[in-house]
Amino acid sequence: MPFHSPFPAVTIPECSLVDYVLGDLSASDLQRRAVLDYASGDTLTYGELVNAVDTFVDRLPRELQRGDVVALIGPNSARWIVAYLGCLKAGLVVTPITTLSTADEIARQIITAAAQLLYFDGAVSTTAVEGAATAGLAASAMRALDDIPLTAEKCSPLGTASVIDSRSELAVLPFSSGTTGVPKGVMLSHHNLIANLCQIEDAMDLDAGDVVMGLLPFSHIYGMSVVLNLALRRRATVVVLRSFTLEAALSLIESERITHLPVAPPVMVALGKDARVANFDTTSVRIVLSGAAPLDAALAATVRARLGCEVRQAYGMTEMSPVSHIAPATIDTVPAESVGFTVANMTCKLVDPATGEEHIQPAAGTSSPGELRCTGPNVMIGYLDNPSATQDAFDDDGYLRTGDIAVVDASGAVTIVDRLKELIKYKGYQVAPAELEGILLSHNAITDAAVIGQPLGNGDEAPHAFVVRSEGSELTRSDVIEHVQARVAPYKKIREVTFVDVIPKSASGKILRRVLRQPTGVVEHG
């Protein structure tokens, strides 16, 4: 039987994302600080931000049509924010590209998304331009974020965007590996993203006057929506970090009186274990929210004790815009290991992956484990130009298959206990074994290969390749690592290599990854 959110249903307005995030700004709101860019020193009030967005829209190529796709690549910055919001206001679709992408990966995303224009940061200009050129974009369709002006003479509320069908018109097109395979374009509508903001607003306990650390990449749906969109919607200040260093983050927590700290588990490890934390005043922090990968309960307790604040988890995926479960700051009884409760307007079920039997939410204790499946207004429209993958992503009842094994207790708190899907999660990024296996097999000295996630002990996994060398080959571990590294973003690179005589497979040819995870399940020969 499905189980429902314990929270009251929310009303989701029918409007554009920009209208929801920056609409109805009051005179006092216009004077509030919206963005502080730590690297550049740029500071924007809400009035200055909306003016910069309007100026950006005025300078867009006139030939662009509503619904056209614009690619955006660069580290977090005030200008990234202006470009993102400007594209949305103009009725364009943003496909964010991670700065760690190679030129080939950039080209592939631009081609798949059919992007008409690319905005790039100077920090990645060489790779971005190379990728865009490979994709066939003209030089005139490549624009530098550094050229975007942040100043304007007027200071007035943002004009209302034209009327749209928020349920069908796309806002963003992030790329995700889903449950299997190479990255696919995830079609998220304005309605999807607005719905998720409505679903999590109260749980985040975020208001005007609060200060949010923007260190999670805005190119990732977690940083884009849970950090950027939500902070602006609530009239808080976003303090933008281009890249994470512990010293810089701690210094900003102290100097800017950060109240909300959304992070991934690797940052939690630093907060919990690094001695430098004690050298800074972190008393302003009220909430640390961990997402993108599982959080160890003991680590959460350590951070809570060191910072003296609430430490909560959230769970979701790009395909859910992204949050489906959250541990709200207002409920003190959520188990430390739990990702919290199903957000408002969503329904979930747990399905035994072997039998297809649905597990019920118990009246006491904890349910049997099953694959978590979800439905709600924040769930994606589907994968771009990939009807078969879209069909595979949903069950017969229209529930999204998350690929994660979970349990639910009597209160409705959900805990992720295992992963059915084969994706590897490394520092908040998703790495698809199938993509790496394809690259490995492109080497003429490799006859077979498989990749699994090797636990690192901090909630992360690193890609571990099992390789069958061709007869007579003298292929080395370094050869394998370098072959893959040259073709993928750094977070996808192979970290460990084991040479084996054979890759264990089922009768149907499916790789038996569970056997590879057993030390005795392979035969090494070099």
- 414 and 480 co-located in one domain: no
Per mean pLDDT, which range of 95-104, 131-140, 148-157, 516-525 is the poorest? 516-525
Rg of the chain (C-alpha set)? 23
- 402 and 472 co-located in one domain: no
Q: State whether residue 269 is helix, strand or coil.
A: helix
Q: Which of 282, 242, 264, 261 is nearest to 36 (CA)?
A: 242
The answer to whether residue 220 scores a pLDDT higher than 70 is: yes
Rounded Cα distance between 376 and 358, Å, is 18
- 394 and 448 co-located in one domain: no
Q: Which range in 197-211, 323-337, 509-523 is most confidently predicted, on average pLDDT?
A: 197-211
| 366, 412 Cβ separation under 8 angstroms | no
Q: DSSP letter for 458, please.
A: S
Residue matched to tokens 């206990």: 417
Encoded tokens for 356: 């297809």
Rounded Cα distance between 474 and 469, Å, is 8
Per-residue pLDDT band at 428 (split at 50, 70, 90): confident
- 309 and 227 co-located in one domain: yes
Is residue 351 domain-resident? yes
Tell me the mean pLDDT in the region 12-35: 96
Encoded tokens for 448: 């077979």
Is residue 16 packed enough to be buried (19+ CB in 10 Å), middle (13-18) or exposed (0-12)?
buried
Q: Cβ atoms within 10 A of the Cβ of 177, count?
A: 21
Amino acid present at 52: A
pLDDT of the residue at 232: 99
The answer to whether residue 174 scores a pLDDT higher than 50 is: yes
Alpha helices in 291-331 (DSSP H): 297-307
- 230 and 343 co-located in one domain: yes
The answer to whether residue 523 scores a pLDDT higher than 50 is: no
- 489 and 472 co-located in one domain: yes
Written as one string, the DSSP assignment of 367-417 is PPPEEEEEESTTS-SEETT-HHHHHHHB-TTS-EEEEEEEEEBTT--EEEE
| 445, 453 Cβ separation under 8 angstroms | no
Q: Which of 223, 239, 205, 237 is nearest to 310 (CA)?
A: 205
Comparison of pLDDT for 350 and 266, the residue scoring more: 350
Rounded Cα distance between 232 and 21, Å, is 6
If one counts the domains in the chain, the total is 2
Rounded Cα distance between 188 and 510, Å, is 32
Is residue 212 domain-resident? yes
- 352 and 447 co-located in one domain: no
Rounded Cα distance between 313 and 305, Å, is 16
Per-residue pLDDT band at 179 (split at 50, 70, 90): very low
Comparison of pLDDT for 177 and 235, the residue scoring more: 235
- Per the structure, the complete domain to which residue 366 belongs is given by 1-12+204-378+389-421
pLDDT of the residue at 526: 39
Amino acid present at 279: N
Is residue 50 domain-resident? no
pLDDT of the residue at 440: 92
- 416 and 290 co-located in one domain: yes
Is residue 365 domain-resident? yes
Q: Which residues pair with 315 in a beta bridge?
A: 325
391: CB partners within 8 A, 6+ apart: none
Question: What is the per-residue pLDDT across 128-153, written as a single tens digit (0 to 9) for each?
Answer: 999 999 999 999 999 999 999 998 65
Q: What is the 3-state secondary structure (H, E, C) of 145-176?
A: HHHCCCCCCCCCCCCCCCCCCCCCCEEECCEE
Q: Which of 22, 118, 16, 14 is nearest to 66 (CA)?
A: 16
Which long-range CB contacts under 8 A does 477-482 form with residues at least 24 apart?
Answer: 479/443, 479/445, 480/440, 480/443, 480/446
Rounded Cα distance between 218 and 74, Å, is 9
Rounded Cα distance between 181 and 172, Å, is 21
Chain centre distance of CA 124: 20
Rounded Cα distance between 487 and 471, Å, is 25
pLDDT of the residue at 162: 58
For residue 11, what is the enclosing H or E element? Answer: none
Per mean pLDDT, which range of 158-162, 237-241, 257-261, 282-286 is the poorest? 158-162
| 258, 249 Cβ separation under 8 angstroms | no
Among the three residues 421, 443, 477, which one is the final residue of a domain in this structure?
421
pLDDT of the residue at 509: 58
Rounded Cα distance between 403 and 189, Å, is 23
Q: State whether residue 217 is helix, strand or coil.
A: coil
- 431 and 413 co-located in one domain: no
Is residue 292 domain-resident? yes
Q: Which range in 160-164, 189-193, 417-421, 499-503 is most confidently predicted, on average pLDDT?
A: 189-193
Q: DSSP letter for 431, please.
A: E
The answer to whether residue 524 scores a pLDDT higher than 50 is: no
Question: What is the per-residue pLDDT across 390-410, written as a single tens digit (0 to 9) for each?
Answer: 999 999 999 999 998 899 999
CATH of the domain at 451: 3.30.300.30
Q: DSSP letter for 361, please.
A: P
Is residue 46 domain-resident? no
Comparison of pLDDT for 521 and 389, the residue scoring more: 389
pLDDT of the residue at 459: 77
Tell me the mean pLDDT in the region 443-456: 90
- 252 and 356 co-located in one domain: yes
Rounded Cα distance between 69 and 201, Å, is 28
Is residue 130 domain-resident? no
- 239 and 362 co-located in one domain: yes
Rounded Cα distance between 19 and 72, Å, is 21
Tell me the mean pLDDT in the region 90-105: 95
pLDDT of the residue at 153: 53
Is residue 7 domain-resident? yes
- 317 and 457 co-located in one domain: no
327: CB partners within 8 A, 6+ apart: 203, 312, 313, 314, 334, 338, 339, 340, 341, 413
The answer to whether residue 508 scores a pLDDT higher than 50 is: no
| 409, 163 Cβ separation under 8 angstroms | no
Mean pLDDT of the chain: 91
Tell me the mean pLDDT in the region 177-182: 56
CATH of the domain at 361: 3.40.50.12780
pLDDT of the residue at 512: 82
